[in-house]
């Protein structure tokens, strides 16, 4: 499973100077290079991150620059190499582990949930676990049920973990750099379909706080909350609705633990109406937490219950048509907003 067909060991690190447009994988690659260059306790490990350069090219060129002790190709042993990251973090390292897809993170959950997330707390604050776990995921091109999951809700339910979900090159860069410098274990959810998306990039711009949400489009009639690829679906829906004179606000959550509720609340106060759009399974998904939190905090501002769109309550099908139908799309968002506004 990889979008890459050929080994690209000669590949170089993307040049770090400011460019107008960059792809998400390039932004991550530059962020890794800068952090590894700045701090020699930062190291990267995972399956095929070194010689092969990473399934999505994110670690391309780093092995040649930093050597195999800092860019380590691991055996297929998620449970132990993730735990290796925890052990190294405890004694002074700042490891970044790549779990090739979020689906395989289930094999590493003991290390992430039982170890990384709890060691600071149950040692009475003595231990620190500055571990970054990167996980590509999402519904991509017909990868079928075992390679198409979104596990936001599982990771969000764990006190002690931070979870971020950058969707743009700029956010990917900022999130990665800030995550490496954080003393807590942090999961960076990356979306497989976004790696080769281009977007504006300025490596020297001032980053927003890691856990703040971003308003991608301002509007007055409804708030649409999304992250990763669903942000672009929501923005397309906003264009479509604007043609009919309906102005929706689109918020890119950027962080799933914690959630920037003040930004969401302020928006809901203006619009009185909120829709969460997620690619994760709707049942007990991230959207349920967001809807409940807004219900508790903004009841008086809402003119109707917070609505949710999410994936069907089924494993992701292989067949292309069914796969598309299993997650929210432009039409679903447009229709949901229209229904909420009674138009």
Partner 1 sequence: MNQDLARQFLFDMSLARAFEQASAQQYSEGKIGGFLHLYPGEEAVAVGVLRAADPGDYVVSTYREHVHALVRGIPAREVMAELFGRSTGCSGGYGGSMHLFDIGRRFLGGYAIVGETFPVAIGAGYWLRMREQSEAVVCFFGDGAANQGTFHESLNMAALWELPVLFVCENNRYQIGTEIHRHSALTEVHRRACAYGMDAERVDGMDVVAVYEATDAALRHVHAGNGPYLLECETYRYRGHSMADSGAYRPEAELAEERGRDPVSGFRDRALKQGWLDERQASQIESEADAAVQDAVQFADASPAPDDLQANVYSNPLDLYKGRP
- Structure token pair of residue 149: 């999951």
Residue among 93 and 199 whose Cβ is closer to partner 1: 93
**Cβ at position 97, least distance to partner 1 in Å:** 10
Q: Which member of 27, 89, 135, 294 binds partner 1 (CB under 8 A)?
A: 89
Q: Is 30 helix (H, G, I), strand (E, B) or coil?
A: helix
Residue among 52 and 56 whose Cβ is closer to partner 1: 52
102 in contact with partner 1 (CB under 8 A): no
In this structure, are strands 186-191 and 274-281 parallel, antiparallel, or unpaired? unpaired
The length of the chain in residues reads 343
Angle between helix axes 330-341 and 229-242 (nearest 10 degrees) is 50
Cα angle 269, 154, 177 (rounded to 5 degrees) comes to 75
**Cβ at position 119, least distance to partner 1 in Å:** 8
Rounded CA separation 42/13 (Å):
17
Residue among 46 and 138 whose Cβ is closer to partner 1: 46
Beta carbons within 8 Å of 198's beta carbon, 6+ residues apart: 21, 22, 23, 169
Q: Which member of 297, 317, 332, 338 binds partner 1 (CB under 8 A)?
A: 297
**Cβ at position 222, least distance to partner 1 in Å:** 23
Residue among 293 and 330 whose Cβ is closer to partner 1: 293
Nearest one of 41, 97, 105 to 73, comparing CA atoms: 97
CB 327 within 8 A of CB 311: yes
Known catalytic membership, residue 147: yes
- Tell me which of 26, 47, 98, 147 is the catalytic residue: 147
Listed ranges 91-99, 170-178, 196-204, 334-342: which one lies at the site for partner 1 (CB under 8 A): 91-99
300 in contact with partner 1 (CB under 8 A): no
- Tell me which of 26, 47, 78, 249 is the catalytic residue: 78
Report 115-144 residues binding partner 1 (CB under 8 A): 115, 119-128
- Structure token pair of residue 244: 């009919």
39 in contact with partner 1 (CB under 8 A): no
**Residue the block writes with tokens 């990167």:** 134
Q: Give the count of residues interacting with partner 1 (CB under 8 A).
A: 51
Residues 252-291: x where in contact with partner 1 by CB under 8 A, - otherwise, as a string: ------xxxxx-----------------------------
Centre a 10 Å sphere on the Cβ of residue 31 and count the other Cβ atoms it contains: 23
Peptide bond into 258 cis (omega under 30): yes
Beta carbons within 8 Å of 68's beta carbon, 6+ residues apart: 50
The footprint of partner 1 (CB under 8 A) covers: 43, 69-70, 74-75, 77, 79-93, 95, 110-111, 114-115, 119-128, 159-160, 162, 182-184, 211-212, 258-262, 296-297
Active site residues: 78, 147
């Amino acid at each position: 499973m990889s979008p890459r067909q050929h080994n690209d060991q000669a590949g170089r690190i993307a040049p770090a100077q400011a460019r107008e447009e960059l792809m998400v994988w390039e932004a991550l690659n530059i962020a890794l290079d800068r952090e590894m260059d700045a701090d020699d306790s930062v190291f990267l490990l995972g399956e095929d991150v070194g010689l092969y350069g990473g399934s999505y090219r994110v670690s391309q060129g780093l092995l040649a620059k930093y050597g195999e002790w800092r860019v380590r190709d691991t055996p297929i042993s998620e449970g132990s190499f993730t735990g290796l990251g925890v052990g190294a973090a405890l004694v002074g390292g700042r490891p970044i582990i790549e779990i090739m897809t979020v689906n395989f993170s289930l094999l590493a959950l003991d290390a992430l949930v039982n170890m990384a997330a709890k060691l600071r707390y149950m040692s009475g604050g003595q231990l620190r676990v500055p571990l970054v776990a990167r996980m590509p995921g999402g519904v991509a091109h017909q990868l079928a049920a075992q390679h198409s999951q979104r596990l936001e809700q599982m990771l969000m339910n764990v006190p002690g973990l931070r979870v971020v979900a950058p969707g743009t090159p700029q956010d990917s860069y900022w999130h990665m750099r800030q995550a490496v410098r954080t003393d807590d274990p942090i999961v960076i959810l990356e979306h497989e379909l976004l790696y080769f998306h281009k977007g504006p990039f300025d490596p020297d711009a001032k980053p927003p706080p890691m856990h703040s949400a971003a308003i991608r489009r301002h509007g007055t009639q409804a708030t649409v909350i999304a992250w990763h690829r669903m942000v672009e679906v929501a923005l397309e829906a906003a264009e479509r609705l604007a043609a009919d004179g309906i102005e929706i606000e689109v918020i890119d959550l950027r962080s799933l633990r914690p959630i920037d509720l003040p930004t969401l609340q302020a928006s809901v106060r203006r619009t009185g109406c909120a829709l969460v759009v997620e690619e994760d399974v709707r049942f007990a998904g991230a959207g349920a937490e967001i809807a409940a939190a807004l219900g508790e905090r903004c009841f008086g501002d809402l003119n109707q219950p917070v609505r949710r769109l999410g994936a069907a309550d089924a494993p992701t099908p292989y067949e292309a048509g069914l796969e598309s139908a299993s997650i929210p799309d432009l039409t679903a968002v447009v229709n949901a907003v229209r229904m909420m506004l009674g138009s």
